[in-house]
Amino acid sequence: MLNLCSDNEGPIAPKILESIVDANSGFAHSYGEDKLTGQLKEVFSEVFEREVEVFPVVTGTAANALALGHVTPPYGAIYCTGHAHILVDECGAPGFFSGGASMVKVKSSQGKIDGSDFQDLVDNWGAHGDHEPKPCALSITQTTEVGTLYSVEEILKLSELAHQHGMVIHMDGARFANAVASLGCSPADMTWRAGVDVLSFGATKNGALAAEAVVFFKKEHAKEFGRQRMRGGHLLSKMRFVSAQLLAYLEEGLWLKLASHANLAAKWLRDGLVDLRGVKVIYKVEGNAVFACLPERMLKGLLAEGYLFHRWPGEQGLVRFMCSYSLQKKEIDEFVRAARLLA
C-alpha cells in the first residue's frame, strides 16, 4: 500500500546497497582511515567547487547537533524557526552538544525565516548585555520542514545579516538534494556562495541506508570537529560502509536523479489533490512534501483503505504527505482516485 508517511520509510536505492556489498571485501582500516573515506574530501570538494572538510555520521540529528554544538559556545543561542527539526525533534541535542546553548525561535512564514523579521530581531539584540545568551548561530533548513524552499537571494540576505553579528550560518540539509534538484542551482550557489558556513548534508531520506555528512566550508570551523564527532559517538569503526554510501550517492548524479523523482511525485500528488472539494494545500510544494487539510471523511476513508500517511499538528484535518524517490506515478494516481471518490 502506498506509503506517504516519510521518505525515511522508503527502500535503499539499489546502487547504494550494491556499494555497501562492494565495500564488504576483506579488511579495511577502521575509524575512517580506510580508502573510501579518504576519497570523500575530494569528491565533496568537487561537488561544492571548493575545498571542504567532510565528516560522515549516520543520522541527521547527529549532523545537526554535532555541527551546531561545535560552532556555538555554552552561553550562545541558536536561532531557527518554530518548525525546525533541531528545535522540535531532536530532544535538545544541539544545546546538549554545545554544552548548554539556548534555542531561540524566530517567526516564520511558509516554513522560512523572513529577512525583515530577522532584521527586527537583530536590531533588538544586546539590551540585556551579559544577561542574555549571545546570538551565535542561525540554522535554516533547505528544503524546509514544510517542503518549501529558500531562494539563493533569501539565503544570502539572512547570512549577510547574521554575519554582521558574528553568527555562523548552518543549513540543515536533510533534504539538500531535493532543494538542489528543485532550484536547479549549483550546490555551491545554495551554500557557501550564499554565505552558508556549515551544512548537514543528508542522504538517508533520499536512498541511503544511513549516511549523512557534516560539511564545513571554512577550515577554522572544522578545527577539532573530529573530537566532537568522537565524543558524540559518530566516529564509526566500520566507517567504510558509510563512506561507500556517500560515494555511490554522489556518483553520476544519482542523488539528483533520486531527488528529482521524489519532487515530481510530490507535484503529481499536489496536482491530483488541489482541486478536490474540501482539500486545501497549505504550503507551496517545492520539494518532496505536500501538506494539505483534508475533510475528515476523506482522511478517515483513505486511512481505512490502508493508505499510510501522518496527521500533522496544526489545523483541523492537516496531513503531511512525504514522497520517497521510489514512488511510482501509477501509485499516486490510484491514491488520487481514491481521494476523489471520497471527496
Interface positions with ligand PLP (CB under 6 A): 59-61, 64, 85, 141, 145, 172, 174, 204
Residue type (1 letter), 198: V
Distance between CA atoms of residues 31 and 244, nearest Å: 14
User: Cβ 125 to ligand PLP, closest distance in Å?
Assistant: 26
User: Cβ 326 to ligand PLP, closest distance in Å?
Assistant: 17
Q: In terms of CB distance, is 28 or 57 closer to ligand PLP?
A: 57
User: Cβ 191 to ligand PLP, closest distance in Å?
Assistant: 16
Take residue 289 and report the three cell numbers written for it. Answer: 512534501
The closest alpha carbon to 58, from 246, 255, 222, 262, belongs to: 246
Q: In terms of CB distance, is 54 or 209 closer to ligand PLP?
A: 209
For the chain, helix, strand, coil in percent to 5 are 45, 15, 35
Three-class secondary structure of residue 168 per DSSP: strand
Q: In terms of CB distance, is 113 or 174 closer to ligand PLP?
A: 174
User: Cβ 338 to ligand PLP, closest distance in Å?
Assistant: 26
User: Cβ 102 to ligand PLP, closest distance in Å?
Assistant: 20
* Largest Cα span, the chain: 61
Q: In terms of CB distance, is 20 or 208 closer to ligand PLP?
A: 208
User: Cβ 313 to ligand PLP, closest distance in Å?
Assistant: 15
Distance between CA atoms of residues 230 and 56, nearest Å: 11
CA angle, 155 then 161 then 165, to 5°: 135
Distance between CA atoms of residues 221 and 51, nearest Å: 13
Element (H, E) at 3: none
Pair 237, 30: CB distance under 8 Å: yes
Pair 317, 180: CB distance under 8 Å: no
Distance between CA atoms of residues 20 and 248, nearest Å: 9
Take residue 264 and report the three cell numbers written for it. Answer: 515530481
User: Cβ 343 to ligand PLP, closest distance in Å?
Assistant: 29
Helix 35-47, helix 240-250: angle, nearest 10: 30
The closest alpha carbon to 155, from 176, 130, 124, belongs to: 176
User: Cβ 301 to ligand PLP, closest distance in Å?
Assistant: 27
User: Cβ 157 to ligand PLP, closest distance in Å?
Assistant: 21
State the residue number with the nearest CB to ligand PLP.
60
Instruction: Report CA 258 to chain centroid distance, whole Å.
Output: 15
Q: In terms of CB distance, is 90 or 197 closer to ligand PLP?
A: 90
Q: In terms of CB distance, is 81 or 260 closer to ligand PLP?
A: 81
Pair 76, 134: CB distance under 8 Å: yes
Q: In terms of CB distance, is 76 or 173 closer to ligand PLP?
A: 173
Q: In terms of CB distance, is 172 or 197 closer to ligand PLP?
A: 172
Q: In terms of CB distance, is 19 or 144 closer to ligand PLP?
A: 144
- Cα separation values, 195 from 72, 155, 156, 168, 266, Å: 17, 7, 6, 9, 29
